[in-house]
Structure 1
Amino acid sequence: MSPRQEENHTDGVSTTTGNDGANSRPTYPERGGIDVLDSLLVRQPIAEGRTRTVSDLLADWAADNSDGDARTLLPVDGVTLVTLFLDDGGFGWTDDAGHASGRGDALLWYIEVVDDDAEAWTNPDTTIRTVSPLFEGELDDSLTDEATVHAAGRSSHRYVTHVTNPHRKSRYADAVGRSLVAPVAGDELPIPVAITSLAVKAGPTSTLVARAVDLVNQLKRFDRVRSWARDETETVEAEAMYTESLLLEAVGDRQVVHYYMETEDMDRLYEAFYGADDWEARLSEWVLRRVLATPETFLEPPLETDCEVLIHAVDPERP
């Protein structure tokens, strides 16, 4: 059993293996925090010439289900948040000159779950295509079969952290109100949601970062360390950050950080980060400026998303 499996079980979280999450939910943790929930990314390439079709299909579905939520979009037990992005091939990594990886368009799923070791996530792509009502139409015909899963424990991937604001349920309801949001082309979401890939400097720096992440994950095996880290959410609350997820992937000769963020206000986030006098924030800034190939893309506001948001849906009862 992995340390993260132990965390989920010791929190009293129970999940079922059925796919009827819209009617029955697992027992959620009492509150959010650091490393309480799990996340994964699934990239489904779009067949050549079908990008507009995919966008239209999702827009039509969202219009017909505007009163839905994450369980409507992906009715699997334990799903608390789903964001669908349109990736134009840039997600994954860029080199020091900012050149994208050059792949074709894709539908990118960011999914937050109670436990990513549940049976449904053994093959996330199959689960999504089998369960999501999006695939009741012709969406499946517009996608290829070459999906890529980015998740902890997968080949070349290292878990870094997943953070949730303990008060995000009430804050989100006050700031947004709607559980499912599908922006009209050209419009912005009522809250910033972003996903981006940040290249670490190649060579020794990438090697050092990977080893440091391994060490931190080893330390998280200890109950005292895990309990202390879980409740260190003061900065998250000050920043009005709802959800933050970091995953490290080895790509070529470097490590790449895949970063997802759901926040209440981008300006407030950066103001709180640079205004904080705690050692964690200042150490994070110092480290990022020295290890990222282009630190300004992350540390200078606003943070730009690599992919267009198509649908953003939450479970109103998420912790």
Structure 2
Amino acid sequence: MLGGAVLWHRVRGRIADLTGDGNDVITERHAGAFVVRRRLDPDRIEAVLERVDRRCADGDPDWLLGVDGASTASLFLDRSSDEPELRWYVEVPRNELERRDDPATTIAERFPVSHDAVVPGDDSVDGELLVHAVHPRRPRTLEAAEAGLLGRDELASDRTVDVELVRMDLESGLPERLADWLAGVSRRVIDGELSLGPIETWSEEMLEAEAMYTESVVLERRAGGYSLVQYMETAEMAAVYEAYYDTWNPVARAAELVLGRVLENPDDVLTYPIESGTEPLAHAIDPDRFRHPSEC
């Protein structure tokens, strides 16, 4: 077992708790989620941020959503390494992805920030979705934004939504092999070849306390090792951690133990505030974004 397995079962637990059987909750079978990376000239970060701020000031969420059918999108500045990056998260329903021969390439080409200080990321990074889950009552409006778009100032002050992107580097060896196995399981779920069956669930009270609207886990494979990238959209990130540590649930306690053993820097994600090295720059939602499989 490894951190990805814990996250996989954690989100599955949310799904089963919300409806009792999971039949009315979106998973990776119904929607895809992508994290697209672009490197930044470290001497020109401020110029890029000004460009993003201007686009946010225009108030049009379509520039960040980027592709037809996209329902949720967030842009982050990642300063966690010597090579700063922009990371764009975007969620798209499967019925839209199936219209494209190569959806990953199409989405990468629609990266929302155009600037000569922004260059393509490392092609050697292979990203694959492990888990995707949507709260069936997630909001379709942003309280502080009439047009469904928040810039970095609003994200810093608006207490109605928190977004976070966390990279968790795995230890080498067995954790990486198990991550590959989990990716195979997720592919079978996406293709409809595998039914999840009954699993241990988290309490309804904990789900309501967390108010997790959208959650994705992407496996990134590099020549230098594997990472899990977790995206979270929630009402308040502090409440997620409070609920996580207040619960007696054995899955939560096992997650704490396992993540502490398989991650290179577990304290970065096991304590709040999160030491992710990323800053949210923009967040957008479609006013008709899907909540149920029938809408995908």
User: Same-fold call, TM > 0.5?
Assistant: yes
1:52 is the counterpart of 2:26: no
Q: Distance in 1 between matches of 2:54 and 2:223?
A: 39
Alignment partner, residue 111 of structure 1? 90
- Say whether the 8 Å CA contact 1:194–1:306 is kept in structure 2: no
Letter paired with 2:136:
P
Shift of 1:253: 5.0
Q: Distance in 2 between matches of 1:228 and 1:174?
A: 37
Shift of 1:83: 0.8
- Say whether the 8 Å CA contact 2:130–2:182 is kept in structure 1: no
Alignment partner, residue 241 of structure 1? 212
Q: CA RMSD in A?
A: 3.5
Q: Distance in 2 between matches of 1:127 and 1:267?
A: 35
- For the residue of structure 2 that corresponds to 1:301, the secondary structure is coil
Q: Distance in 1 between matches of 2:108 and 2:222?
A: 25
Shift of 1:268: 1.5
Residues 119-268 of structure 1: matches in 2 within 5 Å?
119=100, 121-124=103-106, 127-128=109-110, 139-144=114-119, 146-148=120-122, 156-169=126-139, 173=142, 179-184=148-153, 187-190=156-159, 191-215=161-185, 217-218=187-188, 225-226=195-196, 234=204, 235-252=206-223, 254-268=225-239
Shift of 1:223: 6.4
Shift of 1:39: 0.7
Letter paired with 1:274:
Y
Q: Distance in 2 between matches of 1:192 and 1:258?
A: 17
Q: Distance in 2 between matches of 1:31 and 1:304?
A: 34
Letter paired with 1:293:
E
Q: Any unmatched runs of 5+ in structure 1?
A: 1-29, 91-99
- Say whether the 8 Å CA contact 1:79–1:113 is kept in structure 2: yes
- For the residue of structure 2 that corresponds to 1:211, the secondary structure is helix
Alignment partner, residue 294 of structure 2? none
Match of 1:286 among 257, 264, 267: 257
Distance 1:304 1:262, change over 3 A: farther
- For residues 80-110 of structure 1, the C-alpha deviation after alignment (integer angstroms, 9 at most, x for no partner) is 111111233x2xxxxxxxxx3x32x332211
1:34 is the counterpart of 2:27: yes
- Say whether the 8 Å CA contact 1:182–1:312 is kept in structure 2: yes
Shift of 1:313: 0.8
Normalization by structure 2: what TM-score? 0.72
Q: Distance in 1 between matches of 2:248 and 2:193?
A: 27
- Say whether the 8 Å CA contact 2:166–2:269 is kept in structure 1: no
Residues 22-101 of structure 1: matches in 2 within 5 Å?
32-35=25-28, 36-47=30-41, 49-65=43-59, 68-69=60-61, 71-88=62-79, 90=80, 100=81
- For residues 5-53 of structure 1, the C-alpha deviation after alignment (integer angstroms, 9 at most, x for no partner) is xxxxxxxxxxxxxxxxxxxxxxxxx964332321111112234633222
Shift of 1:173: 4.8
Distance 1:280 1:186, change over 3 A: closer
Q: Distance in 2 between matches of 1:75 and 1:205?
A: 34
Distance 1:78 1:301, change over 3 A: same
Q: Distance in 2 between matches of 1:186 and 1:163?
A: 22
- For residues 152-196 of structure 1, the C-alpha deviation after alignment (integer angstroms, 9 at most, x for no partner) is xx96444320121111126x6569776211023994453321112
Q: Distance in 1 between matches of 2:115 and 2:109?
A: 13
Q: Distance in 1 between matches of 2:144 and 2:261?
A: 35
Q: How many residues align?
A: 261
Normalization by structure 1: what TM-score? 0.68
- For residues 32-75 of structure 1, the C-alpha deviation after alignment (integer angstroms, 9 at most, x for no partner) is 4332321111112234633222111111121122xx33x35335
Letter paired with 2:55:
W
Shift of 1:198: 0.7
Distance 1:141 1:208, change over 3 A: closer
Q: Distance in 1 between matches of 2:53 and 2:107?
A: 21
- For the residue of structure 1 that corresponds to 2:258, the secondary structure is helix
- Say whether the 8 Å CA contact 2:71–2:92 is kept in structure 1: yes
